Structure 1
Amino acid sequence: MSSGVRKNLQSGGHLRPVDLARGHGLSTQAVRNYEAAGILPDAERTPHGYRTYTPLHAHALRAFLALVPGHGHQTATSIMQAINRGATEEALRLVDESHAQLLADRHTLQAVEAALRDLDPVPPERGDTFVGPLARRLGIRPATLRKWERAGLVQPRRDPHTGYRVYRSADVRDALLVHQLRRGGYRLEQIAPLITQVRSAGGVAPLESMLRDWRARLSARSRAMLTGAAALDAYLGHRPSP
């Protein structure tokens, strides 16, 4: 940020769109777009129609850019729009919902880790089984296994002579994983992406890297939300009282 822009901010002076843009590595068009979208408060106009911004706009832009990494562009936009139209309670509700979603994602990760940890080992010498024995092993009805099959969560082959379903070692592994996650309260459509990951990874063991990345992303979101909260609080503190 240039010394001239800094002085304007400190003194409460006016800023040109280019001043606001350069301070954040943006184009002037991006700044105008943010104003048009309601992310920034409406700018004042000179007698010749040129936009002029104030330190309040700088705080708004800083808050929005800080919110995006933790909350996403759409939610960050909705938060800023709500504040700028005076609906602060709605903005805070959106922040709370975003935090709740992060917590739910953490619970999902914990459930996945627990499900993988609690998987019974499949005997390597004989992994094939039929629907009845597998259902008894899991303590469920055969109809439940067939429902999971229709959902694509297990993919048993058919015996060419009898037409019976035959569950190989990988199918048993998938059924055990689905069973653990269902016990954790997760719906079939929530489980499907994980089963796809297990299959594409060639088993459970390679998923450790994916789980580490998942944990790292959640931690990064959590830290980003802290940064966004500080910037948002600063913006709220500079807004005039209603």
Structure 2
Amino acid sequence: MWLRPIDLAREHGLSTQAVRNYEEAGILPPAERSPHGYRAYAARHAAALRTFLALIPAHGHSTAGAIMRSVNGGEVEEALRLVDESHAQLAVDRGTLEAVQRALRDLVPPSEVEPGVTFIGPLARRLGIRPATLRKWQRAGLLVPSRDPRTGYRVYTEADVRDVLLAHQLRRGGHGLEQIAQVLEQVRAAGGPEPLQATMREWRDRLTARGLAMLAGAAALDTYLRVP
């Protein structure tokens, strides 16, 4: 039984142009042609489209397309390597989440951060540490102070001072520099420790959704690989 582009498109609410684009991109196998030159698809093409759409939530559009092109090109090992990479990245993301959660349990947001800007010497004296320690933390990615355009000295804003205080607290709690860098990156992205606490459940939910999508994508891919 032959299918038209519109038949494949309707099942997923797509346009016929999208179906043709997917074929041209190698996401679908090449279509047969009718005596009049029209595209004629079969069950394998419908299965390919279902598989691709199932892979997108798990791996993203680009990787999903690369997986399908590899399968359609007979390079199943390459497709499986791409799948493995996505699973490995998910494991890394889960590890980051768990590290941030552990660190946040030891974290008490600084209640007072002096307004304005300061330099490395006064800040180091305030914490009772050496300026070399702050420079080491910067090289490790914990801190991102700007530079005074006239003197070239490091300038620490209120947000930078907050990050220094949090880093100092986490170091005293026994956390490593790499873990602290991950925590501070998330703090900066969230706008502070309190907003980050509020987004942790959402972050975990996103990872769970990706994991479940990978299961669904793997099932669809397995089915497609078995289509004659």
Query: Taking structure 2 as the reference length, what is the TM-score of the superposition?
Result: 0.79
Q: Which amino acid aligns with 1:153?
A: L
Q: Which residue is equivalent to 2:214?
A: 225
Q: Is the 8 A contact 2:124 2:134 kept in 1?
A: yes
Q: Which residue is equivalent to 2:118?
A: none
Gapped regions of structure 1 (runs ≥ 5): 1-12
Q: Is the 8 A contact 2:145 2:156 kept in 1?
A: no
Gapped regions of structure 2 (runs ≥ 5): 115-121
Q: Which amino acid aligns with 2:133?
A: T
- The equivalent position to 2:83 in structure 1, one of 75, 90, 95, is 95
Write the distance in 2 (CA, Å) between the matches of 1:235 and 1:187: 43
Cα deviation, residue 148, structure 1 = 3.9
Q: Is the 8 A contact 1:18 1:27 kept in 2?
A: yes
Write the distance in 1 (CA, Å) between the matches of 2:154 and 2:225: 66
Deviation per CA, 1:22-50: give whole Å up to 9, x if none. Answer: 11111110000000000000000011111
Deviation per CA, 1:70-104: give whole Å up to 9, x if none. Answer: 10000000000000000001101100110110010
Q: Is the 8 A contact 1:15 1:53 kept in 2?
A: yes
Write the distance in 2 (CA, Å) between the matches of 1:221 and 1:181: 32
What SS is found at the alignment partner of 1:185?
helix
Query: Taking structure 1 as the reference length, what is the TM-score of the superposition?
Result: 0.75
Following superposition of structure 1 onto structure 2, how do residues 6-17 of structure 1 map, counting pairs within 5 Å?
Answer: 13-17=1-5
Question: Equivalent pairs: percent with the same residue?
Answer: 55
Q: Which residue is equivalent to 1:85?
A: 73
What SS is found at the alignment partner of 1:40?
coil
Provide the alpha-carbon RMSD of the alignment: 3.3
Write the distance in 1 (CA, Å) between the matches of 2:26 and 2:44: 14
Q: Give the ranges of 4+ consecutive aligned residues of structure 1 lying more than 6 Å apart after TM superposition.
A: 126-129, 163-169
Q: Is the 8 A contact 2:70 2:79 kept in 1?
A: yes
What SS is found at the alignment partner of 1:102?
helix
Deviation per CA, 1:99-154: give whole Å up to 9, x if none. Answer: 110010000111111121122565x5x76774146364xxxx53131344586826
Residue 205 in structure 1 maps to residue 198 in structure 2: no
